[in-house]
Amino acid sequence: MADPRCSECGDQVAPRRRKCDDCKNPARPGPSARQLREREARDLRAAGKTFEEIAEQIGYANASGALKAYRRSMAAAGHRAMSLEERRELELHRIDVVIDGLWSAASKGDLGAVDRIERQSKLRIRIEGMAVAPNGAARRFDEDDKGDTSGQVVPESTVARMRREREDRAAERAAGPHG
């Protein structure tokens, strides 16, 4: 366990002392080295690092150790598993950070940066559910070999027919070969 710190001013208090020399407030133990590593794992994960990268950077033997540290830190901070909306907001924030970082290069004519911004913008559109044409028709995305999300506008009646067909196929699979 780390040396205790003052509960008021945060100054380090000498071992075996119960109060801060300056403000006379009680001392509380500081975070342990393990807790500091767990917090770092949480911060790196929030920054978009994979558990493999976190393990390598902090010094865990493998990704499993980094995952466990992350979960302990989240539990200690009172966090629960993220809801879909929270996860969506986190991903949108990450997209904003990427675009902000590329914007200067793109505005100077860097075509690679322009391409990456375009891909991030398309991803944002999909995450936000804005891939609907103004006339109410749904937008169908056709993935090509480059991962491009450009697509074509499909009338709502076609979308409804496609959904019914998909549900029928799912019902047939659920019934089995003898159903």
User: Nearest-5° angle of CA 106, CA 110, CA 112?
Assistant: 95
The answer to whether 139 and 153 are in contact (CB under 8 A) is: yes
* Phi and psi torsions of 29, nearest 5°: -65, 140
What's residue 18's pLDDT? 59
pLDDT in tens, the chain (179 residues): 455 555 555 556 555 555 556 665 555 556 777 888 988 998 898 888 889 999 999 999 999 999 899 888 888 877 666 677 878 888 888 899 899 999 999 889 889 999 999 999 988 888 887 765 555 555 544 444 444 444 555 677 777 787 888 888 878 877 766 65
Which residue has tokens 């749904």?
138
3-state secondary structure of 116: helix
3-state secondary structure of 139: strand
Q: Where are the domains of the chain?
A: 4-76, 84-175
What's residue 57's pLDDT? 93
| Interhelix angle 111-128/84-107, nearest 10 degrees | 160
Chain Cα centroid distance, residue 167: 31
What is the enclosing helix (H) or strand (E) of 140? strand 138-141
3-state secondary structure of 1: coil
Q: Is the pTM of this model over 0.95?
A: no
What's residue 136's pLDDT? 52
What's residue 26's pLDDT? 58
Lookup: tokens for 113:
């940066």
First-to-final CA distance of the chain:
64
